Amino acid sequence: MHVESMGPESVSTKKPARPRPPVLSHRATLDVPIGTVARVSGWLQAHRKQVDARAVAATCWTQAVLVLRWFIDRPDVHLLARDARLSQATAYRYLHEAIDVIAQQAPNLLKVLAAGREAGWGFVWLDGTLIQTSRSAAKSAADTSTPSRRCIRPPPQDCRRSRRRASPRSLLRKPQ
């Protein structure tokens, strides 16, 4: 059998892509660093030890992959259950349990503001709904005749009592 050498036309001249952290190999590629799966799996393992969960249908790693797949792609839960070899009811239970465990790891607003005060932050950028307002439409700065659609739902009754607007500096100010 005769084997020819590879010519220069078959050599790739592409530059290698930026190095990325290793990703988890799954039935389908899950674009999540393995460290993230390991961290969530560790949180779940600590939670299981705390609640003394003896009879489990899947490992903490499988549960971590299940919840991360749900966060990234939002597939139907029956597909997650099938891939993890779980019943649909168990997949729902594992999904909600993992979401609760992950949520327990997030700092609350008061802790973030206290850390910011200690670090000397001048302001805090809040992303998301913090305080509902009673305004259903506000006029835009560019055109005073056109209201901008920023807030379309009225707040609940208990939020209508306080109309004072908190400034970022007042949130960071030390209580007296």
Identify the three-state secondary structure at position 33. strand
- Inform me whether the pLDDT recorded for 6 exceeds 50: no
Between residues 124 and 117, which one has the greater pLDDT?
117
| Residue whose C-alpha is closest to residue 151's, from 141, 136, 171, 130 | 136
pLDDT band at 148 (very low <50, low <70, confident <90, very high): very low
pLDDT value at position 132? Answer: 60
Question: What mean pLDDT value characterizes the chain?
Answer: 75
pLDDT band at 5 (very low <50, low <70, confident <90, very high): very low
Q: Where are the alpha helices (DSSP H) in the chain?
A: 34-51, 60-73, 77-84, 88-105, 109-119, 168-172
Between residues 22 and 102, which one has the greater pLDDT?
102
Question: Hey, how many other C-beta atoms are within 10 angstroms of the C-beta on 37?
Answer: 20
**Residue whose pair of structure tokens reads 């850390």 in the numeric block:** 115
Which pLDDT tens digit goes with each residue over 83-113?
Answer: 999 999 999 999 999 999 999 998 888 888 8
**Residue whose pair of structure tokens reads 């802790």 in the numeric block:** 111
Question: Hey, how many other C-beta atoms are within 10 angstroms of the C-beta on 32?
Answer: 19
What is the rounded CA–CA span in Å between residue 80 and residue 95?
Answer: 9
Residues ≥6 apart with Cβ < 8 Å to 22: 33, 34
Q: Is the pTM of this model over 0.75?
A: no
Task: Give the pairing type, strands 147-148 and 138-139.
Answer: antiparallel
- Inform me whether the pLDDT recorded for 138 exceeds 70: no
